[in-house]
Structure 1
């Protein structure tokens, strides 16, 4: 007992001595709006000490020797600050620190690359951000998302100019489209109408992660595009933004006029915030450079589009909040025109002729997205959580086709419901910042492709996908970033017994009879991983290198509908694992930024669809795709900004499966996979700051010619050459005052007469169509 008493006395004496010989630092970190900043890193640069702020933004250091120290505060989305602090013995130095939001591109906050907030300079791969200003400027030219992203995203194939984005690949592979992280794509039966999943008026920013990614699972073979919807950025309860526009052809005005109305309400007051939006657009006839009406198949002329959007958020307290989002999108074409086939071999374009269309209006009958997300702090080890449940359904209607016996119109029906839990735990270890992101994705996807009249072309596929994952990030000395992760995919796809639908070769008239196929369960278990390294040596040179795997269940529906066996066990439906290797660097010199990226994408099993004897079949040969991208942005003056990018991609398949890709030209991947080189640029100039702004955009689609002519002197489907074409768009905006502006947008301002890349490499007589000619869009914007 005496010994214990002596130890207690000595401990108290020692503790008393610490209080008188050392001091401390404590304080609160706030944002510009005076709200606390949780999970910010506060580091004493002179010592190996660092802490994270709590949910109230508070931090403290104890037992600091008296002296002067440099305190550094940093966190995602804010500019880092440094503060000189003097520590006195026996007391705490109390601080109140304020962080301002970062505005530079290198500190742009993204969420799609790693399932948690991080900046571009922390990602060891190529990411493209399309911000709100760019989106709003481009809506004044065209609301077609395929056209908008074509110009701003290196590596994305040329826009089709249609309601279908089939052939608009990312780095030669299929991509995953998401809205706020919720999948819109239907990889079980890829109808390629997912790029236009919502109206761009409700998009705040677009994040494009290029290259196969293990982060989000099935479907992201070439990368992903995540549309992040609008959030209120205001301290007022009621704000309004109204846009009214009219459009028309500059070549042939007859019946070409259309109109668009967009209304946005938003507010943020106290614990409550909301965004409400409604958009309606009706287009007139779309004309080519000759003033002729473009054919209706997948056309966007004579189309009625609707978008209803609502987002409501409530902050229970500083640590927990909930947000509910709903979006409905519909875009359908009602036309009095029929397609009149052209002749690819002779160069005769496909046109439109007056006539009563057969079937029902094509397009998106309805795309519904509903989600509820809870987020906040767990209170354990500074761990943040994001938990959400979602529901998504889509009904895509295609055009009337004679491929079906007695004709017919097909539709893709898909319903997804899922739940996700993402946890993020930061850890500070002296000069190492560690971050762990882990969780679980669960999704049920039921997809089928019946005909509108009830006949079944693709049977119902019932998929359950469970995927736990973990991602780690280590930052050494604020310069070297090491990332890695792993994801386990467990997939089960149930298919009942079914009968294939009789189809007809439209050229020969030969009918492929129906076949009874025994159903069953298709099961997949795969582990995919990723690792990357980025060294932010200086603004002048920031290199990165990465390896990432992607998991993709190939277009199962396409395989099932063309089955020529009596049991799905006999069909090669094995999943595709893509290995993506990437290296690049970023250079910044004052207001100039340049990025160069090279990549190789390999898969031992392919999923290349080929048109053979009137039907699509899937070729499973190994594939190798490679390419590079160059992008430069220059803030020339405060009021003048310019950008330029170049994309090149090429790919081959190992047709003889000898492990080599050195065969003849027939081994090149076809046009629906590999895009021709692309050159894109823009100039954004505030002629009169705050009053008059001019945007000029250029997109050049260059030549690709890899295949020989067939015996008829023409080209096989998807293996035709692409000839170059060059497009210029412009937008001129004038602000009468802070609340009212008028914009004039000109699409294809020099009225280039061209065939789209898709119509060229396709070599089909019924889709050998020209691109849209010169047209205008006048928009009045009123903000209250």
Structure 2
């Protein structure tokens, strides 16, 4: 059987996406051989065939994940290459600004949300690709999941036991740009799975270490002091899944994951003696940028890390009161730490802890041409945070390289966001080829905010400028949200579908960064700060943002050509921005609209050669006071992008050359993000036992600043010159690995 023939048995969109995958041998290609429709849960919570979904759905299967991963790509980079409307990766710990269709995305693992009320963008720093079976992506706002999904939904599905037999998978990998002895990464992974007719399970451990990242000039990349980098980083991913089938109609799936990604870098930014290299330093004079340098000798009592414990149980019963019943309960605890950031006259690093408990239940009833899905879901999301202040004299003497704990203060007010929602979704087949679907979700949310002394005032007290302060009063706010969706899909032929869809999404923007802000007089003679003004939580509700999203799309799966494409338009009733000095969020009544096109096409030139292209054209605008539309700031707007690949297959090996282009982006203020193009070469070779994977990232050794590096320079301009935030892309990097399954 040829690789081409095996791939052609994929269905519609799955074929279009999987066409970007290449396989290294006929045996490996057998993974694709199936006559079954690809089923996903990302569009409606219940399993549904992709070709029946009136929306843009991307499906990244295990073979594609494995090949890109073994070629040296991170999870964020894998997604950016496979999903046209997903922005390029930051190459750091954060996925801030990596939007879907220009708006925030909801990321899940096995249906468990990784989003939180505190909008820290680390959802892709959550699982090693070794443990991922497939990824389902729904582009565009959705009413199904409630808050946080105005750009779309990414559902990461973990690997499970595939058979009763005992199976092992071993993996070892290394990467380097050969710039110095610090330029060396490695990873080890091992899994075991098996079971019987009643119980099947899989357990795995992944351990990896990165060292220094070097740009195309051979210089070490500036450490990301804003959101944290993954240089000199240690990753541990321990994952266990268990499937229990007590009867023919009932299944219980259990998941437990511990994930740790922790930095311990010997390199830091040297700001000059007494921090003289930054603006508004302790002398009150402009800083001397020539003093800023990346040096060894960095030490800190707190460095960047992500630590997460997640537990999940899914129960399904296909014969419950003449319905199919789906129930999911989950718990997630995560602690997110940051490295020292410079606040002009001192350095500090925050840490934020989130606990989330959630419960979802759905019932599915099929009645001839009508299918009803209805149910409830709810969660409680609790945030606590702190900030470690470092001894100023130690930081001054070392130019910011050595940071020792001096005191601990609160960073944001404690918040608790709770939600309960009911939903109903109906699918009706008008004919065999034409289906309509629609639904409604009603969600009630309650937001509790604790009393809190403004963090700036806490800093002043910790530095000896006062003894006490009034607290900014907390309070409660409530929200009632109704979300509606309506779509239709028509099968032109067995291989062609067209659809139109309308859906509403909702966001509640970061209560912790909105409340807890106050103005003070003082200190008085007793060293006390008196509160003179603040936001009253009870009377000043943080506005929720509703987004209306429209799209029209088409997909085709032919013998040689696979296509999926859509045009879309979305508009929200509010604009979210951030104060560059305080970093607190601000919300205005300015409408925001995003519109564009996304698409992908793959074509088999022969049985051995395949070519493909994908792209996303996007524009984001904000309504001005005159009723016209201005370009949104580059701090928030997404840039257009394009990709292309050429793949070659033989019996025991394969090669794929691929490119990714980021286009230039500017805004009304004249700020710019400079685009770039990078090429990668990935491949594998089938050995008598196991397989050898390899890759060259940034093949042409292109020098460029990452999107996040360019954005951060604008975001944090009040705290230092652009040189502090110029996070370059990694230069040419070689990866080689060995994998064996037995």
TM-score by length of 1: 0.79
Aligned residue among 23, 43, 47 for 1:117 = 47
Q: CA deviation at 1:266?
A: 1.4
Aligned residue among 550, 557, 561 for 2:505 = 550
Q: CA deviation at 1:105?
A: 10
What is the SS of the residue equivalent to 2:46? coil
Distance in 2 of aligned mates of 1:200 and 1:229: 9
Change (3 A) 1:723 1:106: farther
Distance in 2 of aligned mates of 1:539 and 1:563: 62
Q: Does 1:527 align with 2:482?
A: yes
Change (3 A) 1:346 1:759: farther
Tell me the equivalent position of 1:661: 628
What is the SS of the residue equivalent to 2:92? coil
Tell me the equivalent position of 1:717: none
Q: Does 1:685 align with 2:627?
A: no
Change (3 A) 1:587 1:783: closer
Q: Does 1:134 align with 2:64?
A: yes
Aligned residue among 591, 594, 603 for 1:625 = 594
Q: CA deviation at 1:731?
A: 1.6
Q: CA deviation at 1:142?
A: 2.7
Tell me the equivalent position of 1:162: 92
Does the Cα contact within 8 Å between 2:486 and 2:501 map onto a contact in 1?
A: yes
Change (3 A) 1:402 1:759: closer
Superposed, which structure 2 residues align to 1:137-216 within 5 Å? 137-186=67-116, 188-216=117-145
The superposition leaves residues 261-297 of structure 1 with CA deviations (integer Å, 9 ceiling, x where unpaired) of 0101112432221111100001121111111111222
Does the Cα contact within 8 Å between 1:599 and 1:628 map onto a contact in 2?
A: yes
Does the Cα contact within 8 Å between 1:644 and 1:682 map onto a contact in 2?
A: yes
Distance in 2 of aligned mates of 1:320 and 1:499: 52
Does the Cα contact within 8 Å between 1:256 and 1:284 map onto a contact in 2?
A: yes
Does the Cα contact within 8 Å between 1:448 and 1:460 map onto a contact in 2?
A: yes
Does the Cα contact within 8 Å between 2:109 and 2:158 map onto a contact in 1?
A: yes
Distance in 1 of aligned mates of 2:458 and 2:686: 58
Tell me the equivalent position of 1:697: 658
Tell me the equivalent position of 2:317: 376
Q: Does 1:461 align with 2:415?
A: yes
> Which sits farther off after the overlay, 574-583 or 350-359?
350-359
Aligned residue among 651, 670, 688 for 2:633 = 670
Tell me the equivalent position of 2:403: none
Q: CA deviation at 1:194?
A: 1.4
Distance in 1 of aligned mates of 2:685 and 2:59: 26
Q: CA deviation at 1:217?
A: 1.2
Change (3 A) 1:207 1:305: same
Q: CA deviation at 1:635?
A: 3.8
Does the Cα contact within 8 Å between 1:343 and 1:768 map onto a contact in 2?
A: no
Tell me the equivalent position of 1:732: 683
Q: How many residues align?
A: 657
Tell me the equivalent position of 1:594: 563
Change (3 A) 1:167 1:317: same
Q: CA deviation at 1:610?
A: 2.8
Change (3 A) 1:761 1:410: closer
What is the SS of the residue equivalent to 1:323? strand
Distance in 2 of aligned mates of 1:611 and 1:141: 40
Does the Cα contact within 8 Å between 2:634 and 2:667 map onto a contact in 1?
A: no
Tell me the equivalent position of 1:772: 730
Tell me the equivalent position of 1:569: 538
Tell me the equivalent position of 2:430: 476
The superposition leaves residues 231-285 of structure 1 with CA deviations (integer Å, 9 ceiling, x where unpaired) of 222341x1001001111114x1331112100101112432221111100001121
What is the SS of the residue equivalent to 2:411? strand
Larger radius of gyration: 1
Q: CA deviation at 1:614?
A: 4.8
Distance in 2 of aligned mates of 1:602 and 1:105: 40
Does the Cα contact within 8 Å between 1:197 and 1:329 map onto a contact in 2?
A: yes
Tell me the equivalent position of 1:536: 491
Aligned residue among 219, 226, 249 for 2:177 = 249
The superposition leaves residues 179-206 of structure 1 with CA deviations (integer Å, 9 ceiling, x where unpaired) of 11111112x2111111221111111111
Aligned residue among 220, 233, 241 for 1:311 = 241
Q: CA deviation at 1:104?
A: 7.5
Aligned residue among 263, 266, 284 for 2:193 = 266
Change (3 A) 1:653 1:626: same
Q: CA deviation at 1:563?
A: 5.2
Tell me the equivalent position of 1:354: 296
Tell me the equivalent position of 1:282: 209
Q: CA deviation at 1:398?
A: 1.1
Change (3 A) 1:642 1:380: farther
Change (3 A) 1:405 1:777: same
Change (3 A) 1:107 1:670: farther
Does the Cα contact within 8 Å between 2:68 and 2:78 map onto a contact in 1?
A: yes
Change (3 A) 1:362 1:668: same
Q: Does 1:403 align with 2:339?
A: no
TM-score by length of 2: 0.83
Q: CA deviation at 1:454?
A: 3.9
Does the Cα contact within 8 Å between 2:640 and 2:662 map onto a contact in 1?
A: yes
Tell me the equivalent position of 1:755: 705
Tell me the equivalent position of 1:722: 673
What is the SS of the residue equivalent to 1:750? coil
Q: CA deviation at 1:468?
A: 1.0
Q: Which segments of structure 1 move beyond 6 Å, counting only runs of 4 or more?
A: 341-350, 503-506, 511-515
The superposition leaves residues 607-661 of structure 1 with CA deviations (integer Å, 9 ceiling, x where unpaired) of x2234335343232221111111211224444444331110111111232x5x33
Distance in 2 of aligned mates of 1:742 and 1:593: 29
> Which sits farther off after the overlay, 118-127 or 396-405?
396-405
Does the Cα contact within 8 Å between 1:548 and 1:580 map onto a contact in 2?
A: yes
Tell me the equivalent position of 2:305: 363
Distance in 1 of aligned mates of 2:31 and 2:371: 22
Distance in 1 of aligned mates of 2:471 and 2:217: 50
Tell me the equivalent position of 2:398: none
Distance in 1 of aligned mates of 2:416 and 2:639: 37
Does the Cα contact within 8 Å between 2:206 and 2:236 map onto a contact in 1?
A: yes
Distance in 1 of aligned mates of 2:557 and 2:291: 47
Change (3 A) 1:615 1:117: closer
Does the Cα contact within 8 Å between 1:151 and 1:681 map onto a contact in 2?
A: no
Distance in 1 of aligned mates of 2:631 and 2:703: 29
Q: CA deviation at 1:677?
A: 1.1
